[in-house]
Structure 1
Amino acid sequence: MAGRYAPRPTRTAVRGGHAVVPAQATPPRTRTWTPPWPVDLGLALGPLRRGPGDPTFRTAPDGSVWRASRTPAGPGTLRVAAPGGVVEAQAWGPGAEWLLDHLPDLLGARDAPEAFVPRHRLLAESLRRRPGLRLTRTGLVLESLIPSVLEQKVTTDEAYRAWRLLVRGFGEPAPGPGTGMYVMPEPRTWALIPSWEWHRAGVDAKRSSTVLRAVRVARRLEEAAAMEPDRAQQRLELIPGIGPWTSAETVQRSNGAPDAITVGDYHLPGIVGHALAGHRDADDAEMLELLAPYAGQRHRAARLILLSGHNRPRRGPRFTPGDIAAL
């Protein structure tokens, strides 16, 4: 493929008659790829972003998406742009080649959206308006599992804050140009975070203990990225503290699982019930019944409902976040 892994020339400054390469100007590895479908970086990669301040994810003003990941080959930074439908990617760090190798999967090359047949007008309309919707497959488990554990039983704002503080406090600066981004900590570093730092980030003992149990068997968990989604969820759920909600949220991203519907969510059953049956108080059982015609594609159906903006009207007080760090 043209441009694959070709190093880019770097700008140099002349100082004292000698060319000086800036410290941050290590040439990236590059790849150009033209997928046979309309590319929508926001739809494909949006689920990987954990809040507006996520130190591992950034959307630039030019529309490019930056990700900092810990790959099997080491930390790496990936920049992806898609001008005119042609994907142009640059990557830095020890994990650069790994990130470029997995670029098509990241953008949904192994997804099969044609398998989804909408049986409801709202789903058909949502799909029609988003021809670029593809489910990402990162091939990385812990980077989706740990923030999903942090999101258990708390508001998204609380979880995003915890992720932000822990990654910035114990991760490492992302390779490449000075982006201010961070790669999440390696498993051993997660295991050595002091209890008071979890507390300061607002993470209770139950969630921090779950993360610690997971990182002790990180290698075995990462193997789940190559499994069928059902088997991958079973492996994750062997860890005490990881249930169907957390495993589904993980494999949706790591394995690109189109049927991994999130069960046990505070909002999703009511949103699906309201959209498909006008029942805003639906529970998990009713949600699964409504999504039964989409067996094999239930996560995609739920995603299309969420993207449609057809949310149930609010009533009653919002859930009030706690402040564990203040205790």
Structure 2
Amino acid sequence: MPDPALTPDEAGAPIETTYRPSEHVDVRATLRPLSRGSDDPAFRVVGGALWRAVRAPTGPATLRLESTTDGIRAHAWGPGADWVVEAVPEMLGRGDDWSGLDVADNAFLRDARHRLPGLRLTRTNQVVQMLVPAVLEQKVTSREAWRAWRDLVRRHGEPAPGPAPDGLVVPPDAAGWRRIPSWEWHRAGVGPQRSDTVMRVCAVAPSLERTLALGRGGPEVERRLRSIPGIGVWTAAETMQRAHGDADSPSVGDYHLPALVGWALIGRPVDDDGMLELLEPWRGHRERVMRLISASGFSKPKFGPRMTIQDHRFH
């Protein structure tokens, strides 16, 4: 559990805490899904420290995390610092129980689990902040989506508070996303279909945040997310993985993931149905298996056959 937090003084001293998990936590591997590309303006790794610019419910905040011999040291600045510090344990995997995941019969997963003992599933407790970038990633390449995210956050966010690295920017809140004019979305390469979806998401932001009270994802959370036009199974899964810490929400409809899973587990590519069939023995832990594969550094052969895109992200 964290130590009692210190109150920041008028000069802007940080709130500090040390999180001492009962098991080893790999900070970078656990929080890697929160990074939207190598030049994400809200995510930075500098030396041994990981920095995040966070739009907390109580305001903007900067979070700095660093692993030490005493635990994981957290510093936070800004109006949202208290909230961010309180969120650190779940952000770093508290409540994410891997004890029921048995990968003994699969050599690849067994080796990955052995090499990644500190991997956890994050739970950020921020639905809209995870949902907006997922919408931007619908039906475009990661490179296009990350460029749009970078451009929009830099133009419409605000500098991260405290002694943050140069260029670290806090993303807009729901009201801020809604204020972005149509020509700015166009300038960032985001078409009306995606920008309209973001508008619909932000219009019901409070109700979406209330899904966190339902636990770590699941069918009811997915149903509520998908009740918004433009939010499909892929977008809901990508959001629940990061916001709720859902351990069983594989991203169906992703162009690359089925082939990656197939090559990793059986040495050949598969489609979405084949991916779900391969993951079925680990139902309840399917996102943990996906994270083991992606965090392992494995990549599918470049000479593999091309696959038809089966994109369910709007359906």
TM-score (normalizing by structure 1): 0.88
Indicate the larger mover: 133-142 or 188-197.
Answer: 188-197
Q: 1:109 to 1:210 in 2, by over 3 A?
A: same
Deviation track 1:209-229 (CA, whole Å, cap 9, x = no partner) reads: 110110000111111222231
Q: Give the conservation status (yes or no) of the 8 Å contact 1:167–1:182.
A: yes
For 2:134, the aligned partner's letter is S
| 8 Å CA contact retained: 1:140, 1:254 | yes
Contact 1:35 1:85 in 2 (8 A): no
Shift of residue 39, structure 1, vs aligned partner: 2.4
Which position in structure 1 is the counterpart of 2:310? none
Q: Is the 8 A contact 1:80 1:87 kept in 2?
A: yes
2:299 equivalent to 1:314: no
Taking a change above 3 Å as real, the CA distance of residues 175 and 246 of structure 1, as seen in their structure-2 partners, is same
Which of 87, 101, 111 is 2:86 aligned to?
101
**Residues of 2 paired with 1:3 and 1:306: CA distance?**
33
Is 2:171 aligned against 1:184? yes
Could you list the per-position Cα deviations for residues 187-241 of structure 1 after superposition, in whole angstroms to 9, with x for gaps in the alignment? 1221121111111111111111110110000111111222231222211111111
Q: Which amino acid aligns with 1:47?
A: P
TM-score by length of 2: 0.91
Residue 133 (structure 1) aligned with residue 119 (structure 2): yes
Q: Does 1:165 align with 2:151?
A: yes
Task: Name 1:226's counterpart in structure 2.
Answer: 213
Q: CA deviation at 1:82?
A: 1.1
Give the match for residue 64 of structure 2. 79
- Listed as ranges, the matches of 1:169-318 within 5 Å are 169-179=155-165, 180-228=167-215, 229-230=217-218, 231-280=220-269, 282-315=270-303
Q: The residue matched to 1:135 in structure 2 has which SS?
A: coil
Q: Alignment length, in residue pairs?
A: 303
Gaps of 5+ in 1: 10-20, 320-327
Shift of 1:279: 2.3
Query: RMSD of the TM alignment (CA)?
Result: 1.9
Post-superposition shift, 1:76?
1.2
The corresponding residue for 2:313 is none
Q: Distance in 2 between matches of 1:214 and 1:165?
A: 20
Bigger-Rg structure (1/2): 1
Q: Which amino acid aligns with 1:239?
A: I
Deviations 1:142-173 (A, max 9, x none): 11111111111111111111001101101111
Q: Structure 1 CA distance, aligned partners of 2:156 and 2:56?
A: 17
Note if contact 1:122-1:308 (Cα within 8 Å) is conserved in structure 2. Answer: no
TM-superposed deviation, 1:308: 2.8
Matched-pair identity in %: 49
Report the residue type matching 2:107 in the other structure. Answer: R
Does residue 67 (structure 1) correspond to residue 56 (structure 2)? The answer is no
Q: CA deviation at 1:120?
A: 0.8
Rate the CA distance shift 1:27–1:207 in 2: closer, same or farther, 3 A: same
- Alignment partners' CA distance in 2, 1:90 and 1:311: 35
CA contact (8 A) 1:264 1:284 kept: yes
Cα pair distance change 1:178/1:258, threshold 3 Å: closer
Structure 1 residues 102-140: Cα deviation after superposition (integer angstroms, max 9, x where no partner): 111011011001121113110000000011011111000
- Amino acid in the other structure paired with 2:236: S
